[in-house]
Amino acid sequence: MDNKNKIYFFDTTLRDGEQVPGCQLNTVEKIQVAKALEELGVDVIEAGFPVSSPGDFNSVVEISKAVTWPTICALTRAVEKDIDVAAEALKYAKHKRIHTGIGTSDSHIKYKFNSNREEIIERAVAAVKYARRYVDDVEFYAEDAGRTDNEYLARVVEAVIKAGATVVNIPDTTGYCLPEEYGAKIKYLCEHVDGLDHAILSTHCHNDLGMATANTMSGLLNGARQCEVTINGVGERAGNTALEEIAMILKSHNDVDIYSDINTKKIYSTSRMVSGLMNMPVQANKAIVGRNAFAHSSGIHQDGVLKNVSTYEIIDPKDVGIDDNSIVLTARSGHAALKYRLEVLGLKPDAAKLDEIYKEFLKLADKKKQITDDDILLLAGAERAGNEHVKLDYLQVSSGKGIRPTACVGLDIAGEKFEAAAQGNGPVDAAINALKSIIKRKMTIKEFTIQNITKGSDDVAKVHLQVEHEGKLYYGFGANTDIVTGSVEAYIDCINKF
Ligand code: KIV
Ligand code: ZN
């Protein structure tokens, strides 16, 4: 195939995607995701914004060491210090890229920079030239390009290519553009910018109006050759363009002459891994990776699919790595079956870790007949915990019709034991009141979501909690077949983050 028609996949799950409050990953988890992205076949991994924190810096260093084929990219502002730090963080990357940029819309120029159009071009050019002193591959982003007038944007793009940019990113930062408008913007740039034979244009679309995928496709069909995406479409606000959606559009539409190197069979496992590590559930009807994406429930559809699958199914679930014949795990499943399922989900624990997960698996299988992929991801995640300052020793609740719900809680706080009992208007309220009487901090619950995974009454409940403490928000997560225990675990998870 003609390389001109290849669409480069730039994954920003670990940078733009990871900006979701409460979904931050630690370095070990980021390496795990980066390795999965490498197996998935992405071309570029945006590993972080090194100047923003020592944690981000360290993650870029470690991902650079852990990953071989994809280009590792680090974000900066158009500021020399940022670029110095990014170059240092990329030291070990086999293929490296610095992603620098500045806002180009009139709103950004006036309110963010108190500047003018000419000065912004000068700063953009200077940043690209400075970054080129460190690396050969420099991507420039024109922040809020979606609302930047095309004529001025073309001048910016031409100037940064002349200064040495190899990729120019045209972000619809606010998710405002219509697909036709975004496609026309890319087409305008292709037709009016000199030097585009030395660089490619990139899409970077946000989903505020639910148009990220449509806008990205419109950009690609009009000449952009890179798309910036995240797994499951994670990202701040309504998120970014979902990688799996663009990859499957390119795979299933033979009528378009563009293609990607994404190994689509790895999509499902990567999606589950990111959802599990970020504690971010995938909505059931999410395209490609949602639980219901391939579930035909209406009688007419089921009848058609049974006669010939092509009547209602445009994608073979196996193409995204969903294996219908997957073995269901139960209390009688052995190490090998668990290991196989973990591998399908993108996890490769060593023997000792597998042993730990297996022990937890047997405990859960005692409480629940069938163990799902989500359960396994939770177990694999639970095995990460253990160094917390505050731990739940025991919890006892009594509740029901005609009695006042009461809870007794035992905590271990850095080795010291505490106990308390309290009442509430329900068992969760009683348990949280008992906790509060031990942890005497002012905390307000801002959000409390309990979600089950399948439909069974024996299911594991996932509890997401948001607590305000001294003006800051903390996110906690708990998962248990007992809703009250899961809620208490989520509350303690918040406390451990203070
Ligand atoms: O949305 C955006 O504009 C961005 C840039 C920093 C690339 O994420
Ligand atoms: Zn963005």
Q: Is 254 exposed, middle or buried (0-12, 13-18, 19+ CB in 10 A)?
A: exposed
Report d(CA 102, CA 392) in Å as an integer.
47
Tokens 């378009």 identify what position?
Answer: 256
Query: Which protein residue has the closest C-alpha to ligand 1 atom 8?
Result: 16
Instruction: Please give the distance of CA 227 from its chain centroid, rounded to a whole number.
Output: 16
For residue 413, give both structure tokens.
Answer: 């706080």
Return the exposure string of 386-408: e unless at least 16 CB atoms fall within 10 Å of the residue's CB, then b: eeeebbbeebebebeeeeebbbb
What pLDDT, on the 0 to 100 scale, is given for residue 279? 79
- What's the pLDDT at 1? 42
Ligand 1, residue 141: give the atom nearest the CA.
Answer: 7
For ligand 1, mutation pick of 173, 174, 227 (most atoms within 8 Å of CB): 173
Tokens for 3, please give them.
Answer: 């390389």
Please give the distance, rounded to the nearest whole angstrom, from the Cα atom of residue 171 to the centre of ligand 1.
6
Q: What is the predicted pLDDT for the residue at 305? A: 66
Query: Which pLDDT score, from 0 to 100, does residue 383 have?
Result: 46
Token pair listed for 251: 């795979």
Q: Which of 82, 168, 93 is nearest to 131 (CA)?
A: 82
**The pLDDT of residue 387:** 63
User: pLDDT by residue for the chain (498 residues), tens digit each?
Assistant: 447 799 999 999 999 999 887 788 999 899 999 999 999 999 999 999 999 999 999 999 999 999 999 999 999 999 999 999 999 999 999 999 999 999 999 999 999 999 999 999 999 999 999 999 999 999 999 999 999 999 999 999 999 999 999 999 999 999 999 999 999 999 999 999 999 999 999 999 999 999 999 999 999 999 999 999 999 999 999 999 999 999 999 999 988 999 999 999 999 999 989 988 887 888 889 999 998 888 755 666 666 766 777 777 788 999 999 875 556 788 888 888 888 888 877 778 889 989 999 998 998 888 887 787 778 877 887 544 456 889 999 999 999 999 999 999 999 998 999 999 999 999 999 999 999 999 988 889 888 888 766 667 887 788 888 888 888 878 788 888 899 999 999 999 888 888
Half-sphere exposure of 312 (CA within 13 A, CB side): 15
Q: Which two tokens stand for residue 192?
A: 């009016």
Distance CA 26, CA 48 (A): 12
pLDDT at residue 429 in the model: 94
CA gap 272, 232 in Å, rounded: 9
The pLDDT assigned to 322 comes to 85
Residue 143 has what pLDDT? Answer: 98
49 touches ligand 1 (CB under 6 Å): no
Q: Is 471 left (phi over 0), alpha (psi -120 to 50) or beta?
A: left
Report which secondary-structure segment, H or E, holds 351. helix 351-367
pLDDT reported for residue 206: 98
Helix spans in 41-149 (H) = 54-66, 80-89, 106-107, 117-132
Copy the structure tokens of residue 54. Answer: 């020592």
